[in-house]
Amino acid sequence: MNAMTETPMQRERARTIYEKSKPSRRAAVLPDAGVPERPLEELIPANLLRAEPPRLPEIAEPEIVRHYNRLSRRNFDLDSGFYPLGSCTMKHNPRLNERVAALPGHARLHPAQDPRRAQGALELMWLLQQSLSEICGLPHVSLQPSAGSHGELAGLLLTRAFHADRGETRTKVLAPDTSHGTNPASVTMAGYEVVKVATDERGGVEMDDLRAKIDADPDQVACLMLTNPNTLGLFDQSIAEIARLIHEAGGTLYYDGANLNAVMGQSRPGDMGFDIVHLNLHKSFSQPHGGGGPGAGPIAVSERIAPFLPRPQVVRRESDNGGGPSFDLDFERPKSIGRLRGFQGNFGVFVRSYAYILSLGADGLAEASETAVLNANYLKARLSEGRAGERLPVAFDRHCMHEFVLSGKPMKRELGLATLDLAKRLLDFGFHPPTVYFPLLVEEALMVEPTETETKESLDAFADAVEKILAEAETDPEIAKSAPYTTPVRRLDEVKATRRPVVRQPL
C-alpha cells in the first residue's frame, strides 16, 4: 500500500471528537434557570463540590454532526450489505418498528408511572408475552432480562430456586462443548459448576457421554443447557430422550433461544421438553443490533417453574364490574427470585418486536423460518461445489437448518490460508464474513447463517466471492494473508492493544 493506492477513507486519519475541540466552543443553548440563584456552596458543602468540570468536548453542532456522520461511514452495516454471521440472525430491521417505538406514548412514558395510566404499555407487554408463549410452547413469560445472557442467568437462578423449593441443593450444570460462551459464563455467575458433554459424529449430543455425566452424580445435576438446532445448525433428533434423561435425574432443561429462527411455527421448545427458554429479541424478532445492543432476552417457562419468575410480572386482570380487562405489575410473588434489573425491562425493544410479530403474523413467522432454512441449505449447496466444496467442506454432511458450519482445514493445509485470512479478504469484496473459529469443535470453523432476508442473487454473489478468493489463493495466497486492502483501516495490531491497553483519549 502506498500513497497512490490508499482509499480516501484510509487517507483520513482517525481523530477523536476531543481532538477536534476548541476551548469555549459549544452546541447547547440551555434555558435560564429562571429562579433566584444562590451560591452553590450555600446549597451543597464545598467539600462535596467538583473543582474542575469534566473535560468533555468543546465543539459546535455542525461539527458534531459531521464527526459522527463521517464516523458512521467507517462502519459496515446490515442496511448496506450481507451479514451471514452464524447464530446472530442478522435479518432486516424494519423501519416501521423505529417509527412506532418513537411514539411519545411509548417513548416518553416514565417507568414508574401509575400502572392505571400506563395501560397501553402494560397491555403491549402482555400481548408480547402471549405471542412469545405461543411461539415457544410454554405458558409463562417474563420480559425482564435485557439480553440472551441475562436470560440465561435468569434461567439458572430459576433452576436454583426450583430445586431449593424442593429442599434440594444441586451443584452441576451440563452444557455441550459446542455451546456459546455465554452458557458456561452464566453457569459460573449463577454459582454452578460446568460439566461439558461431548458431541457425536452427527453433530448432536453424544448420548453415552450424557448418560455417563448424569449417572456419575444424578443428584447433583441441576440443569442441562442446550440449543436446538445446535450451534452446528443441526436439529438434535435425540431431544426427546435427552429431555427424559434430565427430568428423570431431577434436573431442568434449558433452551438457549439463539437459534429459534430455524423453527418458528415449525417446532416449539416447550413441546421438545424444555422447561425454560430464553429468546433473543435482537435475533429472531428483528430488534436492530445497534453495534452491540440494545436487545432483550425474555424467558418462557413451564408451569412448575412459573412461581419463581422475576418480580414484577405483567398480569392481566378481569374486571369485576363489567368493564374490560386491565393490566398490572404484580409484585405479590412470594417465591420469585426477585429482580434482575431496574424497572420492567427494555420496553423500547418490546415495542419493536411486537410490531414485528404483528407484521408477520402466524403465517409470516412460519414462512420466515422456512425461508431461513431454505436459504441456508441453498448456500450450503452452492458452497459444496467447485473450490469451496474441496477446500471448505461442510463439517457435518446432512441437511442443515438455518445455519451451517464449514471447516477451513483443507484450505489451510493446501493453500496455507487460515479461516481468518478468508474472512479478511471477504471484506474487500463487500461482505461481512461469517462467524469464525466457533464452534471450537470444528477446526478452522466458519459458521454461516444467511437468514430469510437474503435473495437468491445475494447468496449467489457471496458464493461467487468465496470461489474467487479461493481461485486467487491458488495463484497467490499472500493476497488474502495481507487482506483487507480497501477497508478504512487494514489489519490491526491486537497484540499492541491488549499488551498496553489505551482505553481512553489522554487529555
Partner 1 sequence: MLAAIGVDSTAELFEQIPEPLRLGRPLALPDGLSEAEVYERLAELAARNADAEAEVCFVGAGMYDHYVPAIVDAITSRSEFLTPYTPYQPEISQGGLQVMFEFQTAMSELTGLPVSNAGLYEGPSSVASAGYLAMGATKRRRFVVSRGVHPHSRETLATYSEGYGAEVVEVGLEGGLTDAAALAAAVDGETAAVILQSPNFLGAVEDVKALGAAAKEHGALLVVACDPMTLGILKPPGECGADIALGEGQPLGNRLDFGGPSFGFFCATEAQIRRMPGRIAGETEDVDGRRGFVLALQTREQHIRREKATNNICTAQALNALGAMVHLAWLGREGFRELGELLVQRTAYARERLAAVEGVELLHEAPVAREFAVRLDAPVGAVLDHCAERGIAAGYPLGREYPEHEDGLLVAITERRTPAQIDELAEAIGGAIAGFHAHGAFLGDRPSKAPVAEGVA
Partner 2 sequence: MSEANYPDDLRYHDQHDWVRLEGDEHAFFGITWYAQDSLGEVVFYDPPELGATIDKDASYAEVESVKAVSDVIAPMSGEIVEVNDVLEDAPETINGDPYGEGWLVKVRLTAPREAEGLLDAGEYRKLLEG
- Contact footprint for partner 2 (CB under 8 A): 437, 494-495, 497-499
- The residue (of 378 and 437) whose beta carbon lies closer to partner 2 is 437
Residues 164-203 that bind partner 1 (CB under 8 A): 180-182, 184-191, 194
Backbone angles phi, psi at 31, to 5 degrees: -65, 160
Selected from 73, 166, 335, 468, the binder of partner 1 by CB under 8 A is 73
> Across-strand partners of 253?
224
- Cβ atoms of 175 and 377 within 8 Å: the answer is no
Cell representation of residue 288: 436492530
The contact mask relative to partner 1 for 432-451 (x = CB under 8 A, - = no) is xx----x-------------
Q: Is 292 in the site for partner 1 (CB under 8 A)?
A: yes
- The residue (of 54 and 501) whose beta carbon lies closer to partner 2 is 501
Cell numbers 477523536 correspond to what residue? 16
Write the burial class of residue 469 (CB in 10 Å: 0-12 exposed, 13-18 middle, 19+ buried): buried
User: Nearest approach, Cβ of 491 to partner 2 (angstroms)?
Assistant: 12
Give the span between the Cα atoms of 404 and 377, in whole angstroms: 8
User: Nearest approach, Cβ of 499 to partner 2 (angstroms)?
Assistant: 5
Which one of partner 2, partner 1, none interacts with residue 488, CB within 5 to 8 A by kind? Answer: partner 1
Which one of partner 1, partner 2, none interacts with residue 476, CB within 5 to 8 A by kind? Answer: none
User: Nearest approach, Cβ of 14 to partner 1 (angstroms)?
Assistant: 5
Q: At what angle do helices 239-249 and 207-216 cross, to 10 degrees?
A: 0
- Cβ atoms of 485 and 435 within 8 Å: the answer is no
Give the span between the Cα atoms of 103 and 107, in whole angstroms: 6
> Across-strand partners of 175?
196
> Across-strand partners of 252?
223
Q: What contacts 22, CB < 8 A, 6 or more positions away? A: 58, 59
User: Nearest approach, Cβ of 395 to partner 1 (angstroms)?
Assistant: 16
Buried b (16+ CB within 10 A) or exposed e, 257-272: bbbbbbbbbebbbbeb
Which one of partner 2, partner 1, none interacts with residue 416, CB within 5 to 8 A by kind? Answer: none
- The residue (of 107 and 497) whose beta carbon lies closer to partner 2 is 497
Which one of partner 2, partner 1, none interacts with residue 294, CB within 5 to 8 A by kind? Answer: partner 1
- The residue (of 497 and 507) whose beta carbon lies closer to partner 2 is 497
- Cβ atoms of 376 and 402 within 8 Å: the answer is yes
Cell representation of residue 233: 445448525
User: Nearest approach, Cβ of 321 to partner 1 (angstroms)?
Assistant: 6
- The residue (of 126 and 407) whose beta carbon lies closer to partner 1 is 126
- The residue (of 48 and 492) whose beta carbon lies closer to partner 2 is 492
Give the span between the Cα atoms of 354 and 198, in whole angstroms: 38
Q: Is 466 in the site for partner 1 (CB under 8 A)?
A: no
- The residue (of 181 and 290) whose beta carbon lies closer to partner 2 is 181
DSSP one-letter code for 51: S
Q: Is 260 in the site for partner 1 (CB under 8 A)?
A: no
- The residue (of 267 and 465) whose beta carbon lies closer to partner 1 is 267
Q: At what angle do helices 182-189 and 148-165 cross, to 10 degrees?
A: 40
User: Nearest approach, Cβ of 424 to partner 1 (angstroms)?
Assistant: 7
User: Nearest approach, Cβ of 318 to partner 2 (angstroms)?
Assistant: 55
CA dihedral 354, 356, 358, 360 (to 10 degrees): -150
Which one of partner 2, partner 1, none interacts with residue 152, CB within 5 to 8 A by kind? Answer: partner 1
Q: What is the largest CA-CA distance in the chain?
A: 81
Q: Is 48 in the site for partner 1 (CB under 8 A)?
A: yes
- The residue (of 31 and 501) whose beta carbon lies closer to partner 2 is 501
Query: How far does Cα 33 stand from its chain's mean position?
Result: 43
User: Nearest approach, Cβ of 211 to partner 1 (angstroms)?
Assistant: 20
- Cβ atoms of 86 and 448 within 8 Å: the answer is yes
Q: Is 329 in the site for partner 1 (CB under 8 A)?
A: no
- Three-state secondary-structure class, residue 185: helix
Run of H or E residues at 326 = strand 326-330
- The residue (of 108 and 499) whose beta carbon lies closer to partner 2 is 499
Residues 109-168 that bind partner 1 (CB under 8 A): 109-114, 116-121, 123-124, 131, 134-135, 146-150, 152-153, 156-157, 160-161
- The residue (of 437 and 485) whose beta carbon lies closer to partner 2 is 437
Which one of partner 2, partner 1, none interacts with residue 418, CB within 5 to 8 A by kind? Answer: none
Q: Is 465 in the site for partner 1 (CB under 8 A)?
A: no
- Cβ atoms of 226 and 390 within 8 Å: the answer is no
